[in-house]
Structure 1
Amino acid sequence: MDHSFVIPAYGCSPHLVECLESLKSQTAQGSEIVLCTSTPSDDLSRLAERFSVSLRVHGPNGGIGRDWNAALDCASRGWVTIAHQDDVYLPDFVKLTMAAVERTPKASLVMTGYSEMLEGRVRERSKMLRIKSVLLELGFLGRHAVAAQSSKTRLLRFGCPVACPSVTLGPPLSKLRFREDLRVDLDWEAWIRAALLPGAFCYVRERLMLHRIHGASETTAGVRDGARAREDAEMFGTLWPAPVARLLARAYALSYEEGGHA
């Protein structure tokens, strides 16, 4: 299996065991699984031993962007999923992701559908999830893959509908790294750059993971302190003239009120 799960572990999340259990329970077995951390502890070492996964340490701690980049550097396989420590991957995630790779020879990135977990329950429908679904279809127009720059960029022009933990990066994007000065939109910014490079984006519409929404996440903190609004404005500014970018950034901020700001 030419696939790695890399988990940027910060501290020891109470949900990390559930995440690791889901990775080890994939119907397609054989993926490399690596825990990567700048905050080593006995608890993380015990978990790595319990689940028979590698534990790599980097440092010093430099924020979420550095954690994600260090995790990518830990992968030894061609296709890499940054598995967020609070999330759960459904059993067919690897099987259907790699099937998309096999039927798309020029694939560079695969994204999947997902549901949200909020306060212990699964939320399959929300205003934000519906908006993201529309934005994805705007880019893919019913297809399972798009390779044209215009199509790849179009799905990102009205916001970021791509859930970072659902993304698997391929060899054509092996050198792609995240901006370490961003706190919230570092994935959106990376996908914009990836859209300008050769290769096809693939979309597996099945909901193959559960993304946890909680008050301690960096995204939630970024909404509270205004970092999300600032970074959204910067991203829209790279894609639109200034007046349109301001309108879109304001409209996007209104959606945070529902809590579906993953």
Structure 2
Amino acid sequence: MSEALHSFVVPAYGHSPHLRACLDSLRAQSLPSRLHLATSTPHDGLAEIAREYGATLTVHAPNAGIGRDWNRALAQADTPWVTIAHQDDVYLPEFTRRTLAAAAARPDAALLFTGYAELLGDSGAVRDATAMLRIKRVLLELAFLGRDAIARPGAKLRALRFGCPIPCPSVTLARGATPPRFREDLRVNLDWDAWVRRAREPGAFVYIREQLMLHRIHPGSETSAGVRDGVRAAEDRMMFDALWPLPIAGALARVYRLSYQNDA
């Protein structure tokens, strides 16, 4: 039954050493989901991995960045709910069950997301109390005010005005009549931009506070690369400029940059 409701789509980029760990976690869910792999950078063995895990595999071209990869991956799903599972991350066994239960409780949901912790490289160490994680949890509580869901545009935007506390790998989207799309000219904040656009549309944001997935932090991630080469700082400033008067936007961008540089 759950396989008709929910899909995981995995944008497989390059030859990630963590892909199997991600797929193992998806296959170990207490409720099964459909599983799709999509890639613009195929490699020997990827088709065999897809067959091993019972996933469909779609190869697309050209390799035009993370936004294109996410959009092409989303296009593979045909279920009402879809999660973009990042290939380096791990999903705890109750992720799908708790997400679908929350979706059933809020038929107007447009976006659901769970709590998460960070998985450090290949060490297996987990951390859940960094400065950035604390800031994100405070921002979410200020927006949700103890509730599990918010539906007014002002409340949804309040969650996003001081940064992007909604963890992209934990997000499950309602496909609806018009499936969500990400901007393909952004490298880091394409999720923040998408959530802002979603916030202005009908539909509730649902917050599942349990830590139900682990987001891997490693030097090869796109987020880490974006911090190093300045792309994240530029895209953060772009988002703050769209949400605040320019003097406030500049101050917020500086504070935000210091916090993630300390945690990167």
Q: Which residue identity does 1:109 align to in structure 2?
A: L
SS in 2 for 1:11: coil
Q: Which residue identity does 1:246 align to in structure 2?
A: G
Q: Which residue identity does 1:112 align to in structure 2?
A: T
SS in 1 for 2:45: helix
Give the TM-score taking structure 2 as reference length.
0.96
| Structure 1 position 257, deviation (Å) | 2.6
| Structure 1 position 191, deviation (Å) | 0.3
CA–CA distance in structure 2, aligned partners of residues 220 and 19 of structure 1: 19
CA–CA distance in structure 2, aligned partners of residues 76 and 152 of structure 1: 27
Q: Which residue identity does 1:5 align to in structure 2?
A: F
| Structure 1 position 41, deviation (Å) | 2.1
| Structure 1 position 53, deviation (Å) | 1.0
CA–CA distance in structure 1, aligned partners of residues 75 and 6 of structure 2: 14
Contact 1:5 1:80 in 2 (8 A): yes
| Structure 1 position 138, deviation (Å) | 1.2
The within-5 A match list for 1:82-231 is 82-119=84-121, 120=123, 121-172=125-176, 174-231=178-235
Give the TM-score taking structure 1 as reference length.
0.97
Q: Which residue identity does 1:249 align to in structure 2?
A: A
- The gaps in structure 1 that reach 5 residues or longer are none
Corresponding position of 2:18: 15
CA–CA distance in structure 1, aligned partners of residues 263 and 176 of structure 2: 35
CA–CA distance in structure 2, aligned partners of residues 127 and 188 of structure 1: 19
Contact 1:172 1:199 in 2 (8 A): no
Corresponding position of 1:244: 248
CA–CA distance in structure 1, aligned partners of residues 195 and 237 of structure 2: 16
SS in 2 for 1:132: helix
The within-5 A match list for 1:248-259 is 248-259=252-263
Corresponding position of 1:5: 8
The within-5 A match list for 1:46-61 is 46-61=48-63
Q: Which residue identity does 2:87 align to in structure 1?
A: Q
Over 3 Å counting, the alpha-carbon distance change for 1:87 and 1:174 in structure 2 is farther
CA–CA distance in structure 2, aligned partners of residues 234 and 167 of structure 1: 23
Question: Identity across aligned pairs (percent)?
Answer: 59
SS in 2 for 1:74: coil
